[in-house]
Amino acid sequence: MTISRFRQLWTHRYHKYSHIFKAVWLGYMAALKFLILKSELKKGRKLIAIIRTEHFGDIVAAEPLSRHVRSLHPEAYIVWFVKPAFSELVSYNPVINEVFGEFCVTQRRTLLKTGVFDEVFELQFKNNNQCAKCDVFTDNPVAEQRGINVLNYFNFGNLLNVFAKTSGLLPVDESFAGDDKPRLYLQDQHRLKVDSLGVLKPYIVIHCQSNFAPKDWPAARWEQLIEWLTANYNYQIVEIGLKSNLNVSTTSYTNLCGKLTILETAEVIRRANFFIGLDSGPSHLGNATGTYGIILMGALVTFSSYNPYSGGYGSQENAVFVRKEGLACAELSFEFVQDEVKKVLDR
């Protein structure tokens, strides 16, 4: 072994094990905090954990379950576990008592093993329960017992139904019967931020890149679509997301990528006349805000056809899915997408 390789190996091990040590320590500190909290709760009041740490579209899709858990346990102290980057999606939810910003899976596993929580509802399965630094996965026993995993989860319904079943809140052969429209809890600060942007109505919001390449539509076709839209309709085009991969020069286009928080993005979508995007986080914001959605979708891994949404997008009362059975999103032609968009805008 060379000196360089030796240094790399031990540098990796140092960072890995120092991370694990920190995670375990934070887990026990959190357990102590919740033990103290529990001792101060009224006798008989349950301490409940809801675990949905990522991704932000999944957290939005799972929101109805927070209200469902509250209806089952009206007096409970409910804690939602989430990655800090997505905490704003839960922070303003009035049925949640506390948001726990999770450091990593090892911290959570350490905390839960103490048994401080009276009930735990885990709205995810093994592939969502990984810490790359720790190189650790943790299983969800309910999902394991029911055979729900990343290869088959859409066989159990939309995301809301899947999460309800992985948590044990819903029998595996039933569908969620409550109010299934996800809600966002937008604040004045989000509205004021969007006021300051000066985006003129009417406008269409577009979202062109997901966090999973097989869900995407080629940038060149998005550019064609924008050119066609601005030439034929009186709409401004506003792009949202983390970053843009488009080359657009028209003055009718505004790039807000990377400039907004998640809930500020939701407020931009809420004010739009239409949302045109992919099966991705922002489409769930569109569903929650009630903006009509035109969703480009395709076959995904083992699913030739699927529906991730509940609410108005799920029923397609407030959305249209642009897809062809068995084709990936990238395989949808510009002409096909153009025709489907035209049907909606001309309606």
Question: CA 113 → CA 9, 28, 290, distances in Å?
Answer: 31, 10, 40
| pLDDT given at position 275 | 98
| pLDDT confidence tier of residue 301, bands split at 50, 70 and 90 | confident
- What are the E-state strand segments in the chain? 47-51, 77-82, 98-101, 119-122, 130-131, 136-137, 203-206, 236-239, 253-255, 274-278, 293-296, 319-322
Give 53-112 pLDDT, tens digit per residue.
999 999 999 999 999 999 999 999 999 999 999 999 999 999 999 999 999 999 999 999
Residue (of 88, 307, 47, 91) closest to 180 by Cα position = 307
Tokens representing residue 67 in the block: 């209200």
Radius of gyration of the chain (CA): 22
Average pLDDT, the chain: 95
| pLDDT confidence tier of residue 138, bands split at 50, 70 and 90 | confident
Return d(Cα 215, Cα 152) in angstroms, integer: 17
Q: What is the DSSP secondary structure assignment for residue 137, as one 8-state letter?
A: E
Q: Which residue has the tokens 């009224």?
A: 42
Tokens representing residue 85 in the block: 């980057």
Q: Which structural domains are found in the chain, ordered by start? A: 3-166 (3.40.50), 188-345 (3.40.50.2000)
Give 185-198 pLDDT, tens digit per residue.
999 999 999 999 99
Question: CA 241 → CA 9, 210, 223, distances in Å?
Answer: 37, 9, 16
75 phi and psi angles, rounded to 5 deg: -100, 0
| pLDDT given at position 139 | 87
| pLDDT confidence tier of residue 136, bands split at 50, 70 and 90 | confident
- Judged against a pLDDT cut of 90, whether residue 9 lies above it is answered with no
DSSP SS3 for 164: helix
| pLDDT confidence tier of residue 11, bands split at 50, 70 and 90 | low
In terms of residues, how long is the chain?
347
Return d(Cα 182, Cα 205) in angstroms, integer: 20
| pLDDT given at position 128 | 74
321 phi and psi angles, rounded to 5 deg: -95, 120
